[in-house]
Amino acid sequence: MNQSTTVASFLENKSILVTGGTGSFGKAFVRRILHDYNVRRLVILSRDELKQFEMQQEFPAANYANLRFFLGDIRDVDRLRRAFEGIDVVVHAAALKQVVAAEYNPFEFIRTNILGAQNIIDACLDTGVQRVVALSTDKAAAPINLYGATKLCSDKLFVAANNIRGDRDLRFSVVRYGNVMGSRGSVLPFFQDRKSTGSLPITDPEMTRFNISLAEGVDMVLWALENAEGGEILVPKIPSYRITDFAEAVCAECQKPVVGIRPGEKIHEEMITASDSCNTVDIGDYYVILGDGQKRDSYCERTGGTPVPAGFNYESGSNPEFLSVEQLRTLIAEHDAAKFQA
């Protein structure tokens, strides 16, 4: 992605806070910021003291004087207001994410993913925050499960928040992407755990998914922080894979029984629906779904983008780019090597 290599100079000497910063994305984002940027302060906000303790071992205070850890829950708006004091940039990565757990515990997901999102917005409006990027998911497009529905609501809240920012120097935007290679709860660690049994269960042989690396996800957030005008949902152009090819890449000799899809699962994932095509712009490495009040023609003039065709949709099953088994093996090996080095 050429655009994502843009240096996010806006971040220099800024104070940044990451909600859910002890998760897979948060740790990758923190490593990048500490390596590439001179920031005044980098704050990790999460509710798990053990994960914070473990992360502090990787980033000891003696070596990272500008790194702070803040215990708190995004369900608590007062705690967020205190955490956001003096913060310029918020990256919102905290969420409940397990599809099956959401079906069984729906209101817990609503409290975190929807009400928590509004708490983030309110705390940003009440403090001096200037840029907000919220992480979304492909499951938020035409959702069929509770998790996806809560993330769609979250997306709508962050996009609409630009309507009430007044004269504040404050922009809210969203990045939406697919499955992250090797992240917690993804198919790679599940298959690797099951590999020793000689059997990798396949939900449906037709199933496809988008694929993005953690590094590409971080690149995308950095690009949005530097370039987003506020109101956009940013979608990357990324390859798909077939679940059968992924299983083959993990263990060619393993049996691969078909066990059926779980509640709330799709055969193919979608990141842009045909209904969104009238508000979507192709800007090269990314698609941008524009928010209310953003005019497509003027946005194209400013960015050099082009409108997508009427009826366009972006779905993992019809994606023009698919990863081969060999490409998947290479990506898995690279992920495992990076995890070992970390």
Rounded-to-integer distance, Cα 174 and Cα 338, Å: 27
Of 14, 51, 97, 139, which is the active-site residue? 139
- The residues with which 233 forms a beta bridge, in sequence order, are 174, 289
Rounded-to-integer distance, Cα 148 and Cα 134, Å: 15
User: What are 151's two structure tokens?
Assistant: 């993330």
Q: Do the Cβ atoms of 117 and 153 come closer than 8 Å?
A: yes
Q: Do the Cβ atoms of 78 and 243 come closer than 8 Å?
A: no
C-alpha distances in angstroms, 200 versus 190, 243, 259, 333? 9, 11, 10, 18
Active site residue 139: yes
Q: Do the Cβ atoms of 93 and 21 come closer than 8 Å?
A: yes
Count of C-beta atoms within a 10 Å radius of residue 101:
15
Name the 3-class secondary structure at 341. helix
Rounded-to-integer distance, Cα 305 and Cα 303, Å: 5
- Residues identified as active-site: 139
